[in-house]
Structure 1
Amino acid sequence: MDNLMQAFSFELPTRIEYGIGSVHQLGEELKKLKVNKVMIVTDEGIVKAGLIEKTVASLKQYAIKYEIFQGVEANPKDYNVEKGAAVAQCFGAEGLIAVGGGSPIDCAKSIAVLVSHDGDKIKSFEGKTAVTKPTIPLIAIPTTAGSGSEVTFSSVITDTKNNYKMTVKSPLIAPKIALVDPEMTISMPPQVTAATGVDALTHAIEGYTVKVAEPISDAVALYAIELISKYLKTAVFQGEDIEARAGMLMGSLLAGMAFSHADVASVHCMAESLGSVYDAPHGACNAILLPYVMEYNMEYCQERYANVAKAMGASYSNVEEGAQKAVEMVKQLANDVKLPSFKSLGVEEKDFDILAEMSAKNISTESNPRPMTKEDYLEVFIRAYRDK
């Protein structure tokens, strides 16, 4: 099922600098951009892990002044963005550095929007058309192999007044440079490595199977699936293995390219509703829900699921068998890396109705290979909840 007759547009505004030790290029890259004052956007966990010290060393070498803003929460909130923007403006930041997973990188993108547009409420920039001019330079340094946010031009922020996740989207908000250094992911604990790794697998599988997939996103998605399947278990259980960390980080980056140029689908719609209602970790939600949505979608994209199984290393005699193997292999991988159950997220059955309604309203529902109504989402939530 090739999609060569469908027109598409592909743009990657971010320059990728990949390699062990690439974080040490930071000062030099900022000098090239003529940036002498930067704000580092991160969270407390990254600071405690000692990863900011590696970042700061390069800044000191080039006499670049810096301020650290570590007020980013999981599922970054609108008030995190607005406080960060106020700190950046007060400091006179000429650029931003995001160090962390998807939360700090997404938060930094939105901080850059407010600083560059003299805005005070990120809500004003929701959607695809509100960002109208280039933002101050942002360099992203991922420390998890999961979100792929270092190469996407979306920023997902929790609207705390209306209690849902909104998206600020524009090629203008993409990081100028992504310094993709496998060594920066070594300190990730096993549980985080597992959840973020299957999150990246979700990005790749959804990016490959959505209605709006196109040939370039297909290519990077399939290679991402291959890399993640090959290296995830080693990265989880032998965290010091630098080859496994490199394989996962590259898989995550490619998966980010795939879904940002195609779309995500119903797994993300469900995960975002859980993040809105429970503040549950986005990566873990995606990882746990992936096989249940794949089962629901099965009859609508068998050939593509069979290709997923092939990328994961399976052989099969027909498309139906291959598609079934894809679901089984995703479930097995989740079990092998000890992902928690859906119930462990603290979800209550009484909330399923509102969760299903929020999921159905999510714009990415339209991209799911099989149509999904509120009732369909409800059915999948119940199946995931009751499964042992």
Structure 2
Amino acid sequence: MTLNAYSFELATKVVFGPGTIREAGREAKKLGMTKAMLIADQGIIGAGLTAPVEEALQEEGIRYVIYDKIVPNPRDFHCLEGAEFGREHEIDGMIAIGGGSSIDTAKAIGTLMTNGRDIRTWAGLNLLEREIPPLIAIPTTAGTGSEVTFDAVITDTKTHEKLNILDLKIAPKVALVDPQTLLKLPSRTMAACGIDALVHAVEAYTCKAACPHTDAYALYAIDIIQKNLRGAAASPDMENCTGMALGSTMAGIAFGYSDVAAVHCIAEALGGRYDTPHGVANAIMLPVVTEFNIPSNLEKYANMAKYLAVDTSNMTKEEAAYSCVDALQKLCEEVKIPKMREVEGISPVDFPELAEASFRNISTLDNPREITVDDYLQLLNKAYFG
């Protein structure tokens, strides 16, 4: 077996299981927090999901303040505001509760608190000068995997593009992954977030940055997500929510230490321009981009089909590889992901600019097949017009 040299470094301690959200106080104390900033959107607060965290902090004598200016596709100005809020209240640690928006906002707030300046300054790979304040991440959706990644995706409100901060210095110190937090997720949210997690695993496994360690996490995630997503979207229970929570975190490790590719490049362009929910944007592009990428590595796509529960025993390698497209399309349909033309706001008039924005994304370089601006344009048209 011949392999190129690579490194693999896990930066986040993962605590997994029912009730782990109540470990927030003990973990915060271990990290030396005396005054924490809880970062959560108003929906999470209203649903009572911050209450056990607040109780856990109180039990350990840790003071806290709450920052709730969190929106989907997090905005640069909210991160700047959050950094000022943190400095004003002299916080020495952060606890993010919610989906990727809360966790990514926390990472960006921490970046600005310890490094100063603005989001665009730190957008790129390994640019930070100092670590962020210690961060505990508590995901309440099974999708982004942000609790175990060193990536924050923030919307530049001037250019309407997504900016990526990629640096181990922003990785959460602890991820508290509690499947119980998923039990009351709306079906649409579970479906979109679940496909988002699946895309993370698919792209982590097939992109140019993949390695044997990330392959193992990615294939495990693909298997467990496809087994549990339909049930979790239709009728969530502890079994399928545990599967989805685990699959999402495993997929997060996979792409966090590998990369994503063209599906995400387009999804981030759509989110930056239209505020399209990230999971939906990923889902509508997944089948067409997968079909485009398959010629780059028939072996991997044929193997992936097995983890998507396709019986490939009587197929050629090429047939098995292309069976991934139908399997992914069918799963998206079964969990009621809309078609691209059904998503509010998306206009083919903008596709040339969206293709350019997609091409500029940092992950274009790791797409398994060489891809051009014209390729991106054709993929957008194919997803929209069929």
TM-score of the superposed pair, with normalisation by structure 1: 0.96
Structure 1 range deviating more: 141-150 or 343-352: 343-352
Cα deviation digits, residues 109-156 of structure 1 (max 9, x gap)? 111111122x14222222223311222110000001000000000111
Which residue of 132, 147, 152 corresponds with 2:149? 152
Counterpart of 2:139, as a letter, is P
Q: Where do 1:89-104 residues align within 5 Å?
A: 89-104=87-102
Task: Report if the CA contact (8 A) 1:208-1:258 is conserved.
Answer: yes
Q: Where do 1:56-67 residues align within 5 Å?
A: 56-67=54-65
Task: Report if the CA contact (8 A) 2:125-2:166 is conserved.
Answer: yes
2:227 aligns to what? 230
Task: Report if the CA contact (8 A) 1:26-1:58 is conserved.
Answer: yes
2:185 aligns to what? 188
SS of the aligned residue for 1:74 comes to: coil
The runs of at least 4 aligned residues of structure 1 exceeding 4 Å deviation read none
Residue 34 of structure 1, CA deviation = 2.1
Q: Supply the distance in 2 between the matched residues of 1:376 and 1:154 (Cα, whole angstroms).
A: 26
Counterpart of 2:95, as a letter, is I
Cα deviation digits, residues 229-283 of structure 1 (max 9, x gap)? 00001110112x1110110111111111111111110001100110111111111
1:88 aligns to what? 86
Which residue of 242, 246, 250 corresponds with 1:246? 242
2:347 aligns to what? 348
Q: Supply the distance in 1 between the matched residues of 2:99 and 2:354 (Cα, whole angstroms).
A: 25
1:132 aligns to what? 129
SS of the aligned residue for 2:138 comes to: strand
Counterpart of 2:181, as a letter, is M
- RMSD of aligned Cα (Å): 1.2
Q: Supply the distance in 2 between the matched residues of 1:212 and 1:324 (Cα, whole angstroms).
A: 22
Structure 1 range deviating more: 172-181 or 39-48: 39-48
Cα deviation digits, residues 327-368 of structure 1 (max 9, x gap)? 111111001101111112221111011011111121211211
Residue 291 of structure 1, CA deviation = 0.5
Structure 1 range deviating more: 59-68 or 135-144: 59-68
SS of the aligned residue for 1:167 comes to: strand
Task: Report if the CA contact (8 A) 1:49-1:187 is conserved.
Answer: no
Q: Supply the distance in 1 between the matched residues of 2:294 and 2:118 (Cα, whole angstroms).
A: 42
Q: Supply the distance in 1 between the matched residues of 2:78 and 2:117 (Cα, whole angstroms).
A: 12
Note if 1:116 corresponds to 2:114.
Answer: yes
1:213 aligns to what? 210
Q: Supply the distance in 2 between the matched residues of 1:200 and 1:80 (Cα, whole angstroms).
A: 25
Structure 1 residue runs of 5 or longer lacking an equivalent are none
2:275 aligns to what? 279
Q: Percent identity?
A: 45
Q: Supply the distance in 2 between the matched residues of 1:384 and 1:256 (Cα, whole angstroms).
A: 26
Q: Supply the distance in 2 between the matched residues of 1:328 and 1:73 (Cα, whole angstroms).
A: 33
1:366 aligns to what? 365
Q: Supply the distance in 2 between the matched residues of 1:40 and 1:97 (Cα, whole angstroms).
A: 5
SS of the aligned residue for 1:162 comes to: coil
SS of the aligned residue for 1:178 comes to: strand
Note if 1:176 corresponds to 2:178.
Answer: no
Task: Report if the CA contact (8 A) 2:126-2:168 is conserved.
Answer: no
Structure 1 range deviating more: 48-57 or 9-18: 48-57
SS of the aligned residue for 1:314 comes to: coil
Residue 65 of structure 1, CA deviation = 1.1
Q: Supply the distance in 1 between the matched residues of 2:145 and 2:348 (Cα, whole angstroms).
A: 32
Structure 2 residue runs of 5 or longer lacking an equivalent are none
Task: Report if the CA contact (8 A) 1:41-1:68 is conserved.
Answer: yes
SS of the aligned residue for 1:71 comes to: coil
Which residue of 15, 33, 37 corresponds with 1:17? 15
Cα deviation digits, residues 174-211 of structure 1 (max 9, x gap)? 00000011011212110000000001000000000011
Matched residues, number: 383
Cα deviation digits, residues 301-350 of structure 1 (max 9, x gap)? 22211111111222212211211221111111001101111112221111
Task: Report if the CA contact (8 A) 2:355-2:374 is conserved.
Answer: yes
Note if 1:200 corresponds to 2:191.
Answer: no
Task: Report if the CA contact (8 A) 1:270-1:355 is conserved.
Answer: yes
SS of the aligned residue for 2:77 comes to: helix
